[in-house]
Copies of this chain bind each other. A is one copy, B any other.
Amino acid sequence: MKANKEITIYDIAEKLKYAPSTISRALNDHPSISKNTTLLIKKVAKEMGYRPNSLAASLRNNRSKTIGIMISRINRPFVSSLISGVEETARKSGYNVIISQSNDKYENEVINAQTLYNSRISGLIVSLSMETRKLDHLRPFINQGIPIVFVDRVPDMADAHKVIIDNYTAGYRAAEHLIEQGCTRIAHFAGAQHRNVYSERKKGYMDALKDHNLKADKDFIITFESLSFEEGEKATKKLLDLPIPPDGIFAANDTTAVSAIMYAKKRGIKIPDELAVIGFNDDPIASIVEPALSTVIHPAIKMGQLSAKRILQHAVEKDEEVLFETSILPTELCIRNSSLKNK
């Protein structure tokens, strides 16, 4: 439990009668240090149990090899997979990953941004909280040239990297699928409309109906606060209590889709024949519920990996022309039995 003294490059320098600068360069494979010296220094460093102090290095270049992530909540399948992708990619390049949850509250997001900024992260990956409408809290990063990658829940602003899926098309195809299955009265569980992911899914749904000459009944579109299981049950009840209930539901997430299936079943509704359901995300519960939930596969891990790569490429091509890229990753319709009618 005693605090052993830490070995620094100065200790190595003294022992080897080299200057600290030489030690530093050798350890970083600087070309102006001879091969032999480099080898020797590295060997001795290892023998002495030297461990680089990344803090010192970070202070010097005013940037820690760290990527910050701001998300709503970690313990959701999509989010944790996203983070997993980020971490994996970042670590391969020797970067640490700091996480911070907003719990979908704007206030927290602001505080977290500040803390992350103060830790001199070299890049920030953000999936906006449900509440967030202003982005002033991200200004400091932009001013300092710290790259930001928005992922999934992104803002409108053009001057930033984005990693997203084509929510519109996904929504369109999900709705279209239900239409193809013979549904004519299709409801939609929508999320907060100021978040791109939900507004676009809804737009896709609307257009799919229109293109197939179906009208989107006002009563059939329910906008959720948080897309929770409980909300889903309530909404489903509301729908089923309508004089003419829907025969299909496209839910903006799997949680509410599953709640719809389970609630409808309780009411004796046959899934999918009387009510076809399709969700979004492909959470684990989607393949467990019976009938298994059709859904849109959301490439969470890949989105994380790509986001991290965007940050990392800034570190390498520093000062290069930075052009902001928007990457749109493909989704996949995963048709299971909750929407597949026997014809």
- Any B CB within 8 A of the CB of A73: yes
Quick check: A1 and B322 within 8 Å, CB to CB?
yes
Q: Are B118 and A54 in touch, CB under 8 angstroms?
A: yes
Asked whether any CB of chain B lies closer than 8 Å to the CB of A181, the reply is no
A88 x B59 contact (CB < 8 A): no
How far is the CB of A232 from the nearest CB of chain B, in Å?
Answer: 12
Q: Does A196 contact B (CB under 8 A)?
A: no
Quick check: A51 and B117 within 8 Å, CB to CB?
yes
Measured in the bound complex, the distance between the Cα atoms of B96 and A322 in whole Å is 29
Counting CB contacts under 8 A, is A132 at the interface? Answer: no
Chain A, range 113-129, C-beta contacts under 8 Å to B: 114-120
Per assembly, the copies of the chain total: 2
In Å, the complex CA distance between A76 and B81 comes to: 9
Stretch at the interface among A161-169, A235-243, A281-289: A281-289
Residues of B within 8 A of A77 (CB): 75, 77
1/0 per residue A63-84: CB within 8 Å of B?
0101000000111110111011
Chain B: minimal CB distance from A171 (Å): 24
- A3 at the B interface (CB under 8 A): yes
**CA–CA, A43 and B147, complex, Å:** 30
How many angstroms between the C-alpha atoms of A14 and B64 in the bound complex?
A: 27
Report the minimum CB–CB distance from A79 to chain B (whole Å): 8
Task: Please give, as numbers and ranges, the residues of chain B lying within 8 Å of A98 by CB-CB distance.
Answer: 66, 96-98
Contact yes or no, A84 B101, CB < 8 A: yes
Distance between Cα atoms of A120 and B64 in the complex (Å): 12
User: Which residues, 1 to 29 on A, are CB-close (under 8 Å) to B?
Assistant: 1-4, 6
The verdict on A268 contacting chain B, using a C-beta distance below 8 Å, is: no
| 9 nearest CB pairs, A to B | A80-B80, A75-B80, A75-B81, A55-B59, A74-B84, A285-B288, A75-B84, A4-B143, A288-B288
* 19 pairs from A and B in contact (CB 8 Å cutoff): A2-B145, A3-B143, A51-B117, A51-B118, A51-B140, A54-B120, A59-B59, A74-B81, A75-B77, A75-B80, A75-B84, A77-B77, A80-B80, A87-B99, A91-B101, A96-B119, A97-B100, A262-B288, A288-B289
